[in-house]
Structure 1
């Protein structure tokens, strides 16, 4: 199939401003302008806050063409190693997926479910970090463009089985975009409890969140890039520091100490808002009750009543 330069031009246009790149993976990565980086054999296709391309590492001969035998959608671009037939399959998205931790959780989880399912269908390397890929702009690789149109997540979904990811109470796999979702959830739930231990100033709190995020990230088979982890840590630190403080917590404790009557005031409203946010993100009622130190009945009434 003849190459169609439209996809390659778009790949070049969508490069991060200063992507990681290298000609030799053993020599480590460099950071330079996109124009300079585009000349390297390997390059970073996505920045830390947006995913324009879903990239899969296929380590077997015939990797650039056997996606059809597996019933997978045609890649936008394949970049094949001429020496062993291994390849990177690159799928272009019409609308980028925001991966920063301030992104809405439902769209990110949907994108992660699509990403993980496509990875399984293709038989891709689950340990691939996704940070850099074979640069389809470099002449060393055998490059083919297959699908001229960009995909929506719904387009890709139609080729896949997403049933394993439909239960939002279950953790996504720790690869692909699943790592982004899991890191945010783990860090956020930890932060709700940890900030109560001394109510630190923001710089100290942000450092603590980053340390914890790095620890969680180290547990993934393929870690996220440090810059992505920093974005998640800063976002969680900023939100919790702004919305959870000693005064609000003391008011909440006072409300909890009352016997009978209806809980009132800002503390009650804050807790209910937190419960609604957690529930909208798919957290179970039991887990919300544990995190907020309230009864499951209270949480159920909060999320079931419109006000």
Structure 2
């Protein structure tokens, strides 16, 4: 049964493969799921957390909500010891009472920010190895890697080449990045296109030689300020050494 789709993250579905699946959330201190679908034979369960506002995954998506959704998915997966390989687009049919015992809780759909409060800082801040990226993290990871290449290469294509030239070059790079970073669970071509289109449209619209020069000049000013601050810090430290 479909819950999420290629365009929206409507919520999170976690696959719990042990006999206490229905209460796994309570055992680790997480909020109550909106729906609990438990296997009547072995106790395994799907825990569903519905989002009040779906997170967009198309080429019009904003990366900040997608990053936060990735953090929540990763954090809850680790805390629940849920199956990392499970793709939460599908879930068990809650209306099939022969196989599943379904509990519809009285919980309202959650704000993404609220769910993020239950993710430990260690999970929010740690840098994961490429081979450990899973779920929405793959989309975010590809976005971050590809945008750096796009920002660096955009001036090779403007103003002498077309947007299509730029897009096709970035799409080829995205395919290579996906194969390298997600060898066992690669993103689909449709997901890669969405990430690539989002980056290329924004970069083509917002980057020009004039803007690039302005950015470089601003960075140069900041770096000069940092050098001055560093020199001042060294001077003060030497003065303190003399006084002490």
Question: Which bin holds the TM-score, normalised by the shorter protein?
Answer: 0.7 to 0.9
* TM-score normalised by structure 1 residue count: 0.60
Q: How does 1:120-269 map to 2 (within 5 A)?
A: 120-139=78-97, 140-166=99-125, 170=127, 174-197=133-156, 200-218=161-179, 219-220=181-182, 221-244=184-207, 248=209, 266-269=211-214
SS at match of 1:133: coil
Please tell me the root mean square deviation across aligned C-alpha atoms, in Å.
3.2
Distance 2:212 2:151 in 1: 15
In the alignment, what sits opposite 1:52?
A: 10
In the alignment, what sits opposite 1:256?
A: none
CA contact (8 A) 1:52 1:95 kept: yes
CA contact (8 A) 2:34 2:107 kept: yes
CA contact (8 A) 1:113 1:162 kept: no
Distance 1:239 1:300 in 2: 30
* Larger relative contact order, structure 1 or 2 (CA cutoff 8 Å, min sep 6): 2
In the alignment, what sits opposite 1:280?
A: none
Query: How many residues are treated as equivalent by the alignment?
Result: 220
Q: After superposition, what is the alpha-carbon deviation per residue over 1:197-242, rounded to whole angstroms, capped at 9, x for unaligned?
A: 4554223332332232233333225333432222111111222233
Distance 2:94 2:172 in 1: 36
SS at match of 2:55: strand
Distance 2:87 2:190 in 1: 13
SS at match of 1:78: strand
CA contact (8 A) 2:71 2:116 kept: no
Distance 1:299 1:225 in 2: 45
SS at match of 1:193: helix
In the alignment, what sits opposite 2:35?
A: 77
Q: Pick closer, same or farther for the CA change 1:212–1:141 going to 2, 3 Å.
A: farther
Gap runs ≥5 in structure 2: 228-244
SS at match of 1:227: helix
* TM-score normalised by structure 2 residue count: 0.73
**What is the deviation of 1:52?**
1.3
SS at match of 1:67: helix
Gap runs ≥5 in structure 1: 1-42, 249-264, 276-288, 302-307
Distance 1:136 1:229 in 2: 31
Distance 1:133 1:226 in 2: 23
